[in-house]
Amino acid sequence: MLTKIIVVIGAVLVAGAAIAGGTDIEATLKADLDQVVDSGSVEPVDGITAAGQPDKAAFEVFARSGYTTVIDLRGENENRGLDEVAVVEELGMDYVLFPITGPDAISYDNARKLDKLIEDAEGPVLVHCGSSNRVGALLALSKKLDGADVNTAMSYGIEGGMTGLAGMVESLLKED
């Protein structure tokens, strides 16, 4: 129930911001890739941006916006629609494959590993999977490792794109 309420509140806030208009795009943890491409810029939140699968145009915007690293949580056999390694490296960013496949890969251990990868990056980091669900799940666990309560960690994960994994992550968060 809490997850549904948080998702509804988030949707209302996003819709309200869109209705309010304006030309400035507020930095959000999970990037709307169409908006990134349309605006030609993107801002990290605390040094990172979460996203679903970017295309070449989106990667170009991330590179122009100063991102130094792309962390890809997709499995090696997942279709990206492009040669992601070549595109990312051609744009001067570092590519890191950190495959998170299957529910067992959503763990505090992998959240720690992702934190280390982000920490080791020399600048802003794009972390993506297919939809940002896995990204948000690991970010929620990471937030809990940083001392956040369950509700704060869940909110952060949802802000980072967590959807279908929310129930499982909430259970993990409550175990501690």
- pLDDT at residue 176, rounded to an integer: 66
Residue 49: which pLDDT band, with cuts at 50, 70 and 90? very high
- CATH of the domain spanning 27-175, picked from 3.40.50.620, 3.40.50.2300, 3.90.190.10, 3.20.20.70: 3.90.190.10
117: how many CB neighbours lie within 10 A of its CB?
Answer: 15
131: pLDDT strictly greater than 80: yes
**How far apart (Å, rounded) are the C-alpha atoms in residues 138 and 132?**
10
Q: 92-104, pLDDT tens digit by residue?
A: 999 999 999 989 9
**How far apart (Å, rounded) are the C-alpha atoms in residues 68 and 94?**
6
- pLDDT at residue 27, rounded to an integer: 75
Q: What is the mean pLDDT of residues 6-30?
A: 48
Weakest-pLDDT range from 16-30, 55-69, 81-95, 97-111: 16-30
The residues spanned by each domain of the chain are 27-175
129: burial class by Cβ within 10 Å (0-12, 13-18, 19+)? Answer: buried
**How far apart (Å, rounded) are the C-alpha atoms in residues 136 and 138?**
6
SS3 124: coil
Which residue from 87, 79, 88, 90 is spatially nearest to 53, judged by alpha carbons? 79
